[in-house]
Chain A
């Protein structure tokens, strides 16, 4: 269990974190997401006891990371970003060394090393020097070292960076398995990764928490404001006339119409709903069907499906620079 209460961190005059609070219970995998410089690594370093917070406190299984640092550190398995290792050491020698740092007796060290070598699929390289290993293997050696003392809390900074798709799948499964009886905090830049692996996502930007919830919750919040896209054969009507028809539909907040480049005669309508308007697909289709005698031909009518990526861009304030649908969603949500 990780509990952060109002942690702030200043590096000299620069504020890296401001009043960050969260609680991660046992058995939960939480993804920490944020753009570069958002405060992810600072949060992780405070959680691992590597840095103290300027104010506020963070505890690991009830042990304060500053007041009771050693006890807190004993509960944590930590994989830092880029998995720093000693290149001159062998894989087994390194795991043995880490075991000794955590005070494991010789028999326990051997057993633990065998267990993590097996779980992280390090068998083929167990006797190799770390410096000779590929980035993927090095990452897994770091992960193995983090799991070695069977810690109740795992903190993994970018655990899948540098891995190929097959290995990512293995590590994802491994993290899932590990989370059953542990607390896991994973930071990542890869949004789809977090969406697939984590039970809950904390989005952090400019040192503050912008969103905290399950990926589904976050998407639901966004889905409520998601726009509709309709491609309509306008025929003799001008684009603006189509827009006014749609605008007259109850629940519609705004309509933008643009020609479709590859289909002359068609217009694309981007319909922004009022908050809480519910599903407008049917009223929109009915409105278009009621035009003139036979109605307008609709070749597409769909609701934009928000992705975590759009949500991320929206809440971190980077939506303005985003292209395409992301920008539209950001505007709609704003």
Chain B
């Protein structure tokens, strides 16, 4: 546990020791702020953050791979993977530690946006249910994106490739679900809808917290992390 936390805290701190972390947070908050003032904070609009959450999903698709891309790629590129993997800790511990750091960074990035909630609630009473569900959905979606990003990062020493790999994996899945599914024979559309995070995240924005959806996000994230640990281990069989 101490080793997992050592990996996680070093990784988390390194987001802020390099420009990447600050740039990601700044861009995310700037875009969110523009969106909040232009779409949410309008006279006559209902006091809800729902359009806001919808936009965040799109932003997250770009931001999450930017967070996860360096987790392993950087270590593979600079060779620091060698002292790391010859220290007495398992591949699973390293993957879990790095992933935990990425999730903590995601939460750190989202935290300042609570001021938007405070601003909105000072102007009009808001229903807390959809807000809580919305944030939960964003964090769960982010966790899935980061898990896939962690795997992509473990596969290549190129951060660019890790970033694009994660981004395109989800864009292709989204396109397949939204556009191509209707043209395909059964049971392909059913399968696509079942594995599509976008279909499930829509429930959260409506304020519905479905246990099945939570399990979906956690289990699929876990699966991708397990594969990432196996990828790291595979060095030993090759």
B79 and A89 within 8 A (CB) = no
A334 at the interface (CB under 8 A from B): no
A49 at the interface (CB under 8 A from B): yes
A86 at the interface (CB under 8 A from B): yes
B122 at the interface (CB under 8 A from A): no
A98 and B236 within 8 A (CB) = no
18 A-B pairs with CB atoms under 8 Å apart are: A11-B238, A51-B236, A66-B236, A73-B87, A73-B88, A76-B86, A78-B86, A80-B79, A80-B82, A80-B86, A84-B80, A86-B10, A88-B17, A89-B14, A93-B13, A100-B3, A101-B6, A145-B83
Which of A45, A74, A97, A101 has the most CB atoms of chain B within a 10 A radius of its CB?
A: A101
Given A89-B14, A97-B6, A100-B2, A84 contacting B90 (CB threshold 8 A): no
A80 and B83 within 8 A (CB) = yes
A70 at the interface (CB under 8 A from B): yes
- Shortest C-beta distance, B173 to chain A (Å), equals 33
Given contacts A80-B79, A97-B10, 15 further A-B contacts (CB under 8 A): A11-B238, A49-B86, A70-B88, A73-B87, A78-B86, A80-B83, A84-B83, A88-B18, A89-B14, A89-B17, A98-B83, A100-B5, A101-B84, A102-B87, A102-B88
Distance in angstroms between the alpha carbons of A97 and B7 in the assembled complex: 8
B79 and A98 within 8 A (CB) = no
Size of the chain B interface, CB-CB below 8 angstroms? 26
- Shortest C-beta distance, B85 to chain A (Å), equals 6
A101 and B14 within 8 A (CB) = no
B88 and A51 within 8 A (CB) = no
B-chain residues with CB within 8 Å of residue A283 when the two chains form the complex = none
A52 and B236 within 8 A (CB) = yes
- The digit string for B1-24, where 1 denotes a CB below 8 A from any CB of A, is 011011100100110011000000
Distance in angstroms between the alpha carbons of A142 and B10 in the assembled complex: 17
B89 at the interface (CB under 8 A from A): yes
B85 and A50 within 8 A (CB) = yes
A-chain residues with CB within 8 Å of residue B82 when the two chains form the complex = 45, 50, 78, 80, 84
Q: Enumerate A98-143 residues with CB–CB distance to B below 8 Å.
A: 98, 100-103, 142
A84 and B14 within 8 A (CB) = no
B-chain residues with CB within 8 Å of residue A11 when the two chains form the complex = 238
Given A51-B236, A86-B14, A89-B14, A101 contacting B88 (CB threshold 8 A): yes
B17 and A98 within 8 A (CB) = no
Distance in angstroms between the alpha carbons of A100 and B2 in the assembled complex: 7
Given A80-B82, A80-B83, A103-B3, A88 contacting B14 (CB threshold 8 A): yes
- The digit string for A78-92, where 1 denotes a CB below 8 A from any CB of B, is 101010111011000
B2 and A103 within 8 A (CB) = yes
A-chain residues with CB within 8 Å of residue B18 when the two chains form the complex = 88
Q: Enumerate B197-220 residues with CB–CB distance to A below 8 Å.
A: none
Q: Enumerate B1-49 residues with CB–CB distance to A below 8 Å.
A: 2-3, 5-7, 10, 13-14, 17-18
Measured CB to CB, the nearest residue on chain B to A97 is B10
- Shortest C-beta distance, A168 to chain B (Å), equals 22
- Shortest C-beta distance, A20 to chain B (Å), equals 19
B186 at the interface (CB under 8 A from A): no
Distance in angstroms between the alpha carbons of A74 and B5 in the assembled complex: 18
Given A84-B80, A85-B80, A86-B80, A103 contacting B88 (CB threshold 8 A): yes
Distance in angstroms between the alpha carbons of A148 and B14 in the assembled complex: 22
B-chain residues with CB within 8 Å of residue A103 when the two chains form the complex = 2-3, 88
